[in-house]
Amino acid sequence: METLTMETVKKSNKNFMVTLLLCFFLAPLGIHRFYVRKPWTGIFMLLTFGGLGIWALIDLIVIITGNFKDGDGIIIKN
C-alpha cells in the first residue's frame, strides 16, 4: 500500500484565493464554479441563485476548509 506524501498529492492549477474571493462576492451567480471549470453546476447555481444562498454558503465553507475540487477532481489548496 502506497502512503501519500506531499509530493504525490496533486495540487490544482486554479488559485485558491481567486476561488475564495469569487465565491465570497459572487457565489449566488456561480462564478467560482465557472472559474474551476464546472460549467454545468455553475449554470445551475446561476439559475437557482446559488440554491437560494444555501448552496453558495456550503461552497464557501468547503473552499475555506480546503476541500473544494476543480473540474478535474483535484483539490484547490492554498
* Domain ranges for the chain: 16-64
Cα pseudo-dihedral 49, 55, 31, 68, rounded to 10: 180
pLDDT at 27: 93
The H-assigned helical ranges of the chain are 16-26, 31-35, 39-52, 54-64
Q: Measured between alpha carbons, how far is 30 from 39 in angstroms, rounded to an integer? A: 9
Residue 28 main-chain phi, psi, to 5 deg:
-60, -20
Note down pLDDT in tens along the chain; length 78 residues: 556 555 566 778 999 999 999 999 999 999 999 999 999 999 999 999 989 999 999 999 999 999 999 999 999 988
> DSSP assignment, residue 77?
-
Q: Is the pTM of this model over 0.85?
A: no
pLDDT at 12: 86
